[in-house]
Structure 1
Amino acid sequence: DGLEVCRILRGESSGLPVLMLTARTTEEDLLLGLDLGADDYMTKPYSPRELMARIRTLLRRSRRTGGGAAIPDDRRPTDPVLRAGALSVDPVRHTVHLGGRQVECTPGEFEVLAVMAAEPERVFTRRQLLTRTRGSDRFITERSIDVHILNLRKKLEADPKQPVLLLTVFGVGYKMADGPEGHRAH
């Protein structure tokens, strides 16, 4: 089924954009789809116009992040690697490293991480993170940000229940802590 296809794609570290179009309509199904690495989730019945708008958005995002395809060195933009503490996020190569160890992220997780790493210590509301990563034409709930943060904590934190990098600011949203050696590369 679609969940298994998504699991296989993400297991192969595919940068391919994934939109799940499904008859599964519960919040648990939505969260499972996003948790498995889907970039978007739509339920049936659906509006063909909305589907096309979401596909265009996914393709725009995919082009902006390189779509998982290798970009020749002579055509790479000179975007800086973003750093916060021991974390580095490379928007050009679409890679994440923590203390020298590469961390695999879904496209949605990567975009949340890149937004937060670009401005460490800044507090972002869920809506701000959605707008910056998905654009204002998306019909995704703010809960998807919570799912991405939860998954990122599992991948980045020594103890996801006691995070030191991706922090919750209660009643507001999330921020990325910037360790003593953390800085943005220029």
Structure 2
Amino acid sequence: MNILMIEDNESVSEMMQMFFLNEGWEATFKYDGKEGLDAFLEEPDKWDMVTLDLNLPSMDGMMVGREIRKLSSTVPIIMLTARDSESDQVIGLEMGADDYVTKPFSPLTLIARMKALHRRSELAEQGTATTQENDDVFDVQTAHFKMNTKTREAYLAGKPIDGLTPKEFDLLFTLAKKPRQVFSREQLLELVWDYQYFGDERTVDAHIKKLRQKIEKVGPQIIQTVWGVGYKFDDSGVAE
């Protein structure tokens, strides 16, 4: 992987550099929010992963993340946040981050999260690179909704649901391939994120909120809350 790490703590960066080298990954380190954003904007196709601290000089991580997401809806973003900043974690996920790791963190934990996220991203890229003759084959298709995992496209009532991040797409696919089945937050964490979050349900809720906002731009809501249990996909309320 080619990693852009935007982190103002040089000791953290130096520590992670050793672990990145051990994995055979290349990394560029920026210690200022604006410098980090400029590095991404200069070569947006270069980066396989961005790790982003929220507390940065010049430009905070929230602003940097939003600007990166304007240019790329697919580059995986892991944000680093203080353990007690619950609101920052939720806002960060809502602004488009795919995952977060709380400080202080184990380097091995961060590496594991990065590998899991990269694995998902690679599968998405492989699907997009398939030949055009397969573009009209939909993995999920109902009366009002269809989804193609090869082209990473989703349509509601014939209209594209645009700007889905990798995690939002995977979350929607997990729900849609089993219509009306109720998934608990714990099940979604395991199915979509590839590993256990040890009961941290805010991750699911934040991604559901952002996913719903994008769905509502093209039609009625198809992600339903089942109170006290979790979420389900149901497009029966979409008008003919």
When normalised by structure 1's length, the TM-score is: 0.81
Counting matched residue pairs gives 178
SS of the residue corresponding to residue 80 of structure 2 reads: strand
1:86 aligns with 2:144: yes
* Percent of aligned positions that are identical: 38
Is the 1:84–1:176 Cα contact (8 Å) retained in structure 2?
A: no
Q: Distance in 1 between matches of 2:112 and 2:134?
A: 28
What residue is the counterpart of 2:104 in the other structure? 45
Q: Distance in 1 between matches of 2:77 and 2:193?
A: 13
* 1:81 maps to amino acid: D
Larger RCO (CA within 8 A; separation ≥ 6): 1
Q: Distance in 2 between matches of 1:44 and 1:144?
A: 16
Is the 2:185–2:230 Cα contact (8 Å) retained in structure 1?
A: yes
Query: Equivalences for 1:87-166 in 2 at 5 Å?
Result: 87-103=145-161, 104-138=163-197, 141-157=200-216, 164-166=221-223
SS of the residue corresponding to residue 66 of structure 1 reads: helix
What residue is the counterpart of 1:177 in the other structure? 234
Per-residue deviation, residues 94-145 of structure 1 (Å, max 9, x unmatched): 1222222222212221111010111111111111111110022446721211
Deviation at 1:21, TM superposition (A): 1.9
Q: Distance in 1 between matches of 2:116 and 2:197?
A: 8
SS of the residue corresponding to residue 125 of structure 2 reads: coil
Deviation at 1:180, TM superposition (A): 8.5
Q: Which runs of 5+ in 1 are unaligned?
A: 182-186
SS of the residue corresponding to residue 5 of structure 1 reads: helix
C-alpha change, 1:86 and 1:78, in structure 2 (3 Å) is closer
SS of the residue corresponding to residue 65 of structure 1 reads: helix
1:168 aligns with 2:228: no
C-alpha change, 1:78 and 1:100, in structure 2 (3 Å) is closer
C-alpha change, 1:165 and 1:66, in structure 2 (3 Å) is same
Deviation at 1:154, TM superposition (A): 1.9
For residue 33 of structure 1, the aligned residue among 92, 116, 124 is 92
Q: Distance in 2 between matches of 1:166 and 1:47?
A: 35
Deviation at 1:74, TM superposition (A): 7.2
Which structure has the larger Rg? 2
Instruction: Output the aligned Cα RMSD.
Output: 3.0
Is the 2:223–2:231 Cα contact (8 Å) retained in structure 1?
A: yes
* 2:140 maps to amino acid: L
Deviation at 1:25, TM superposition (A): 3.9
Q: Which runs of 5+ in 2 are unaligned?
A: 1-59
